[in-house]
Amino acid sequence: MLPEIHPDALNALLYADHGAPFDILGPHSTDDGRLSVRALRPYAESLTLIAPNGERYPMTKLRNEGFFEVTLRAEKPFRYRLEACFADGSTDTYYDPYAFPPLITDFDLHLFGEGNLLYAYKTLGAHLTEVDGIRGTRFAVWAPNARRVSVVGNFNFWDARRHPMRQRSSGVWELFIPGIGEGEIYKYDIRSNFHGYQAQKSDPYGFYYELRPNTASIVTDLSRYQWQDDEWMTKRAQSTPLSKPMAIYEVHLGSWRRKADGTWLNYRELAHELVAYCVEMGYTHIELLPVTEHPFDGSWGYQTTGYFAPTSRYGTPDDFKYFVDYCHQHGIGVILDWVPAHFPKDGYALSYFDGTHLYEHADSRKGEHPDWGTYIFNYGRNEVRCFLTSSALFWLKEYHIDGLRVDAVSSMIYLDFSRKPGEWIPNQYGGNENLEAISFLRHVNEVAHREALGSVMIAEESTAWAMVSRPAYVGGLGFTFKWDMGWMHDTLAYMQKDPIYRRYHHNMITFSMLYAFSENFVLSLSHDEVVHGKGSLINKMAGDWWQKFASLRLLFGYQYTHPGKKLNFMGQEFGQWREWSEARELDWHLVRDWEMHAKLQAWSRDLNHFYRSQPALYEQDTDWNGFKWIDPNDADNSVFSYIRFACDPNDFLVCVLNFTPVPRYNYRIGVPKAGMYAEVLNSDSIYYGGSNIGNMGIVHSQPVPAHDFPHSLSITVPPLAIVIFKPKATA
């Protein structure tokens, strides 16, 4: 006989308040060698157990709420089905979830608890699974402070009584539900041990979500898609990103281009249109503003609720895989903005997950962002570190993403970020460094570089924190690259000044070379510079209409010849006048209807292709051997001249930039070798909308020493322009 169920325990089960349903439900051996099976099926008039041989055993209804029991002559449990009959005559036959053993190993749970389950997304979340030939879905969620967790969805009428989960170690709850297949929507109904809290939560490890405003997770098979990018992935694993060209086109998928009716293009449509554009324009990479699932369009994805799911706004997970695959097949890398710094307070997601501040700090001085109204992750909690590390690997491995640009790193590493005295808590040594966040960043970067060879990790870090892009083993944060925010701010401030005053701010251009090789930099002119009232990039340029176009061409030329990888936000390449908005597509009519915009786009295109064809512009981006000033001191004329070298010292480019609207004739610059120099690029060409002042395609050196070089060129430097010379091979 089985011990009698305590009435309180049974009541707790019947009213969805029992945290150990397997203690009561499912098969249990009796003292006299028989098998007792108990089941809960609310609203059922009757319940029948069906053995594998087809024999039927009616169960006894012990409680009107739908609690049934039957005792059989059997020595050990076996696979059986239950048939429920309802008052309207309908029936439902299903395998009993409480007849299946735990599926997650104790070892995985141990690794999760210590923060070392790198691929935690393979263990937690909803996974299509087959057990003894029976197909279903295994659900697992971390909720250590819950007293009961149930899986709810359309399949059980969102009734928390139907599928309460089994609690395992490390605070993980697990349940295998036979018959649940792809496409089912679900949430976790959580009743906390604290404060009487109860909520239905989407799956933190969910792979796919309903389209907003709906918030349920969707059971998804990630293994079905057949990738076609083996060649790309093999080359990626063998690549050396620091010495390769990187011209990044930063894109918000919902507003790059739209259909005629104003609706979004889907991932597959974007694959064909966006990739064709990037190939034509010469970009090497697309960087996506976060496509991780998010509730509010206006957050652009930076307030993430689904750290393992591409947003359903543009299609399914398979559709997004197709997008990445198509990019790779056409030679375009994909970088994804990733946001481990903070998450929104939406009640259906991570916040206050199990009735406690599980993913975030409880103390608002550490756990809330004062500027963004969001929560900050608790990086000191092993399971949270596991969650975030696993998310990074998920995108790099499952979606073949080539790199992650980590948003808001400064807000992670400083405890007093955007806080006044008394609004933050010092670390154990009294400092303002967030030691737990620093440890996490080093860990995730080490893991990403080890597990996804050839991928890049890029930091958006706006302070002077040392060694952001240096390995963790020498004390760095371990990123591959860091955005050069100082270069961006100084350069844009300089370009906004009237040219007549630029001579007094000459150092705003030269200063970047004092630190250009202290990190591995990306020179970014990102979306952040064209939103929130900052105006468009072309509107930042000083001067009249013609000068604005000339200045923007010059700015791009300067960016592409300065050491560092390149990033430009969409629309800048053709000079969009309006500030960017996620609510509309780019102003493509400018390219169609206005010649100057089309010519600026042509300059951007040719500059990209030129950059990729010249090893001098990328091979030594992180080394002083790749750069040499000719004359950094000509403040009176606001002219700068320098040389970029490839690894082969005989392969170099001479770059001369004039930041005034006054042409400079007979302007002499020193060069390292004698011979003929071809004018290989001139932003003032009439083809790009310029005044067509130049050097007739070629200049000859003279044995006149200048700027510590034995030879020199006497050249014409066009107004508000960059000219680039290259020694001819026959010289």
Q: Where are the domains of the chain?
A: 7-99, 106-218, 294-483, 622-727
User: What would the two tokens of residue 502 be?
Assistant: 């630029």
Is residue 367 exposed (0-12), middle (13-18) or buried (19+ Cβ within 10 Å)? middle
**By the 8 A CB rule, do 382 and 374 touch?**
no
DSSP codes of every residue in 438-452? HHHHHHHHHHHHHHS
Asked if the peptide bond before residue 615 counts as cis, ω within 30 degrees of 0, the response is no
Element (H, E) at 711: strand 711-717
Give backbone dihedrals phi and psi of 113, rounded to 5 degrees, phi first. -65, -30
Angle at CA 413, nearest 5°, toward 411 and 418?
A: 35
DSSP structure string for 81-145: EEEEE-TTS-EEEEE-GGGS---S-HHHHHHHHTT--TTGGGTSEEEEEEETTEEEEEEEEE-TT
Ramachandran quadrant class, 167 (left: phi over 0; alpha: psi -120 to 50; beta: rest):
beta
User: In this predicted structure, what is the pLDDT of residue 121?
Assistant: 98
Domain 622-727: homologous superfamily in CATH: Golgi alpha-mannosidase II (2.60.40.1180)
Residue/partner pairs of 684-687 with CB below 8 Å, 24 or more apart: 684/550, 684/553, 684/718, 684/719, 684/720, 684/721, 684/723, 687/599, 687/602
CATH class held by domain 7-99: mainly beta
Q: How far apart are CA 608 and CA 561, in angstroms?
A: 11
Q: Do domains 7-99 and 622-727 have the same CATH topology?
A: yes
Distance CA(114)–CA(89), nearest Å, equals 51
Determine the Cα–Cα distance for residues 129 and 103; give it in Å rounded to an integer.
Answer: 10
What is the CATH class of 106-218? mainly beta
Question: Which CATH number is 294-483's, of 3.40.50.300, 3.40.50.2000, 1.20.120.1770, 3.20.20.80?
Answer: 3.20.20.80
**How far apart (Å, rounded) are the C-alpha atoms in residues 559 and 304?**
31
List strand residue ranges (DSSP E) for 407-476, in order: 456-459
Rounded CA separation 123/121 (Å): 5
pLDDT at 1: 44
**CA 146, 150, 151, 155: dihedral to nearest 10 degrees?**
-160
Q: Report the predicted TM-score, pTM, of the whole model to 2 decimal places.
A: 0.95
Q: What is the structure's pLDDT at 731?
A: 40
CA separation for the pair 440, 158 (Å, rounded): 37
Structure tokens belonging to residue 64:
């009107």
Q: Given 337, 460, 529, 684, which residue is catalytic?
A: 460
Cα separation, 436 vs 443, in Å, equals: 11
Q: What is the mean pLDDT of each run of 10 residues along the chain (731 residues)?
A: 79 94 94 91 96 95 95 85 96 97 96 97 98 97 97 97 96 98 98 93 98 97 96 96 97 97 96 98 98 95 97 98 98 98 96 96 92 95 98 98 97 95 94 97 98 97 96 96 97 97 97 96 97 95 97 98 98 97 96 96 98 98 96 98 97 98 98 97 98 96 96 98 90 40
**Burial zone of 539 (CB within 10 Å; 0-12 exposed, 13-18 middle, 19+ buried):** middle
Does the active-site annotation cover 65?
no
Out of 69, 293, 337, 407, the active site residue is 407
Cα 165 to Cα 199: distance, rounded to the nearest angstrom: 15
First to last CA, the chain: 100
Please choose, from the candidates 721, 723, 722, the residue with its C-alpha nearest in 3D space to the C-alpha of residue 550.
721
* 460 among known catalytic residues: yes
Please state, in angstroms and rounded to a whole number, the distance separating the CA atoms of residues 322 and 399: 9
